[in-house]
Structure 1
Amino acid sequence: MTMTAASFDLDELRATARAMLSDVSGAAAVRRAHDSGADVEAALWSQVAALGWFAAPIPEAYGGLALGPSALAILYEEMGRSVAPVFAPAPFLAAEAIAASHDDALKQQWLPRIAAGEARIAVAASWRAPLRADARGRLSGALPHIIGASADAVLAPVRARGVNILGLISTEANAVTLTPTPGADMTRDLGAASFDNAAYEPLPLTPQHWGEFQNHARIALACDSLGGAEAILDLTIAYMKTREQFDRPIGSFQALKHRAATWKVLLEATRALVQSAVRKCDAGEGDREAVSACAKFYACDAYAAIAGDAVQLHGGIGFTWEHECHLYLKRAKLNQMLFGAAEEHMERVAMLAIERGASR
């Protein structure tokens, strides 16, 4: 079912997303595609485009639906649940940055194409080391880690005239080289980008827009982690109910029940924090930066902990290539590092708390 702005329902969106992703994506499909060389990402991309998901954050004037954080959070969570190989934050973040620009020609060039799924955007995995523009406004240098090794443009931090901005760099020119760099996580299209006197479109964001952009990136990974953590915990509990030792399900052993219960408590705490961050961003509340930063590091760390112990709770089969456990664990470990590790977000939360206390 294609989404429209006029008839939109969050519950329906979740049901539709889960049904489609279970058919096209899912851990088993990703593993089979990797083993056979099939392109499950391309098949899923087509389905996502047909359903209108790429149009979700884009203003209606450019073919979008102008949906807010609550709708995007559902998509991120369900894609995390199914370890979907489409990295939705890349086109969504690019659309948000372009929509905040004052360049209408740039909006007309990119936003309708992103909404239709016709433009693929790679995104820098970290914002801490910007590319530097020379006096002529050209970029030379490299991004060692990007998500989207086959893209029409790269969204990256740029240092221009002493100011940090975002830059949209078209890959059509020979000045840009994208190189696939496969990593442990098979669900993400990882790569590197190099630039040799490359032109770019500057996207100077106001401090408010830059803050919202970062909040969006944090919440995207927090929601992805929440969905993945729930899926692997459900899978583990189901296994513990059927796997028997000493003529009893291993889930009946008290030590294992306590471990599963501990992860369930952690999962529900994560859900409460992530949902709070989404609501605050939706409502534009003043403390949304701190809460989104908390949600990012807490959810990603919870995902890694739950997925790591899921391997152990599955016993020998959890260590095999044929099982889904390793897909969730590898994705969780990458989520911890994307857009800043936990320590970076903890430091930002601490600084915000100090600033708030000093202002009283």
Structure 2
Amino acid sequence: MKLASTEQTDFAETVSALLRKRDPLERMRHAPGPRRFDAGLWSELVANGLLDPAEVGDVVTACLVAEALGRAAAPLPFLSASVAGALIVSAGGEVTGLATYGLLAEDGTWSAPALKIRDGLVHGALPFVPDADIADVVVAAVQAPEGRRLALVRRSDTTVEPLENLDATQPLARVVCGGSPATLLPAGGDALASAIEEARLLALALHSATLLGLATWLLDTTVEYTGQRVQFGMPIAGRQAVKHRCANMLIQVESIRSMVLELADALEAGTDDRALVAATTMAWTTEAAEEVAGGAFQLHGGIGFTWEHDLHHYFKRCTVGALLLGTSSHHRAQIAAALTA
């Protein structure tokens, strides 16, 4: 496993500095309506080349950016836009506007049924689409006469049905296509299968990195709080039980960090075992992040349950994150299948 270079960490720190300045969670509290998307912050990041895949350049840097966004719990569509962009380019298309992808099934796996296409019009429903309410284009799998293909469907030509979601920073929706015009992308056969698989692995890497950012914030905030919270004449951080819980949280965070870097390296190098590394990373990081979130809640006590404290946003995002791209059980099954093949 290679550590991130100075150039890569500096790039991510630029993103972090802007996020600290803009405080997206605080802005989200005052945003009207159920959708808390900070369009101004997103535009500023894009304009500075900080979220453009062509500018980010490699998987390691993209993961560092995702970690920074996770640490800020930023309600931005970085993962969905990055994955959709990779899909479109790999399948022979061109990215125009903000794109998302519609390949997720309701259980978070990449097994959504292909839509039907007749006379250039798409029919069917995409059950689980992230950031569909703000995207310009949705990438969907369709069953064309010449075989399975990817198609671009403009969001304005669909019906977006928001889904109930514990995490307000990551909206999900069901997208219905009732005769929507679509643009087919050229790739098919093995080329299409490869494009979809590489995009899936990228999604797992960016999601794991986001969980790392969330867990890092939870650990740092908890250590700071326990050092300030005085009980029975001394900071509670001086109690052995609290020290041990924080130490265990640190172990979880650093183990997530190691696995995310390992996965990013594997994807960047295109190693033969990258799918196995991705499944192993997801199986561990989803549970480890939930464990860190639980520890943060316990050590914060009652204040952690208040709406005014940021903790609940991170807790909810870790909880949803454990399910969003497949459960740990699903990824363990993937590991078993790979090892016994």
TM-score by length of structure 2 reads 0.88
Give the alignment's Cα RMSD to 1 decimal.
2.3
3-state SS of 1:154 partner: strand
Once the two structures are TM-superposed, the CA of residue 343 in structure 1 deviates from its matched residue by: 2.0
Which residue number corresponds to residue 215 of structure 2? 229
Q: Which residue of 2 aligns with 1:51?
A: 48
1:306 aligns with 2:326: no
- Go from structure 1 to structure 2 and tell me whether the alpha carbon gap of 1:158 and 1:343 turns closer, same or farther (over 3 Å shift): farther
Q: Does the aligned pair in 1 maintain the 2:215–2:292 contact within 8 Å?
A: yes
1:181-239, Cα deviation, whole Å (9 max, x unpaired): 45221212332211102232334344332321111010010000001101111101110
Indicate which of 111, 131, 135 corresponds to 1:128. 111
Q: Which has the higher contact order (CA 8 A, sep 6+)?
A: 2
Alignment pair present for 1:271 and 2:287: no
Residues 219-298 of structure 1 mapped to structure 2, 5 A cutoff: 219-298=205-284
Q: 1:287 to 1:248 in 2, by over 3 A?
A: same
CA–CA distance in 2 between the matches of 1:310 and 1:87? 26
Whether the 8 Å CA contact 1:78–1:227 is kept in 2: the answer is: yes
Equivalent residue of 2:128, what SS? strand
- Given that residues 232 and 310 in structure 1 are in contact (C-alpha distance below 8 angstroms), is that contact kept between their aligned partners in structure 2? yes
Structure 1 position 38, deviation (Å): 9.3
The answer as to whether partners of 2:80 and 2:101 remain within 8 angstroms in 1 is yes
* Aligned counterparts of 1:11 and 1:158: Cα–Cα separation in 2: 39
Residue type of the alignment partner of 2:98: R
Aligned AA for 2:13? A
Contact 2:127 2:174 in 1 (8 A): yes
How far the C-alpha of 1:159 sits from its partner, in A, is 4.1
Residue 23 (structure 1) aligned to one of 21, 43, 58: 21
Cα distance in 2, alignment partners of residues 336 and 158 from structure 1: 28
Pick which of 138-147 and 15-24 moved more: 138-147
Q: What's the offset of the Cα at 1:36? A: 8.8
* Superposed displacement of residue 144, structure 1: 3.2
Q: 1:74 aligns with which of 64, 67, 76?
A: 64
Select which of 8, 27, 40 maps to 1:10. Answer: 8
Residues 26 and 242 from structure 1, CA distance in 2 versus in 1: closer, same or farther, beyond 3 angstroms? Answer: farther
- The aligned length equals 326
Partner residue in 1 for 2:179 = 197
1:328 aligned partner: 314
Equivalent position SS for 1:193: strand
Which letter maps to 1:315? G
Q: Is the 8 A contact 1:48 1:54 kept in 2?
A: yes
Tell me how far 1:258 sits from its aligned partner: 1.1
Q: Which residue of 2 aligns with 1:3?
A: none
* Letter matched to residue 333 of structure 2: E
Structure 1 residues 162-171 or 311-320, which shifts more? 162-171
Contact 2:116 2:142 in 1 (8 A): yes
Which of 116, 119, 130 is residue 147 of structure 1 equivalent to?
130
Change in CA separation of 1:307 and 1:24 when aligned onto 2, cut-off 3 Å: same
Q: Distance in 2 between matches of 1:237 and 1:301?
A: 20
Q: Which residue of 2 aligns with 1:188?
A: 170
SS at match of 1:201: strand
- 8 Å Cα contact 2:91/2:150 also seen in 1: no
Separation of aligned partners in 1, 2:266 and 2:90: 20
Moved more, 43-52 or 133-142: 133-142
Name the stretch that deviates more: 330-339 or 180-189: 180-189
Relative to 1, partners in 2 of residues 1:172 and 1:301: Cα closer, same or farther, differing over 3 Å? Answer: same
Distance 2:203 2:23 in 1: 23
Question: Relative to structure 1, is the Cα distance of residues 157 and 293 closer, same or farther in structure 2, using a 3 angstrom cutoff?
Answer: farther
Residue 351 of structure 1 pairs with residue 333 of structure 2: no
CA distance in 2, matches of 1:323, 1:172: 36
Displacement, 1:135?
5.1
Secondary structure of 1:200's partner? strand
Moved more, 155-164 or 126-135: 155-164
Bigger Cα displacement from structure 2, 125-134 vs 268-277: 125-134
Query: Would the aligned equivalents of 1:131 and 1:139 in 2 still touch at CA under 8 Å?
Result: no
State the identity %.
Answer: 29
Cα gap change, 1:47/1:297 in structure 2, threshold over 3 Å: closer, same or farther? farther
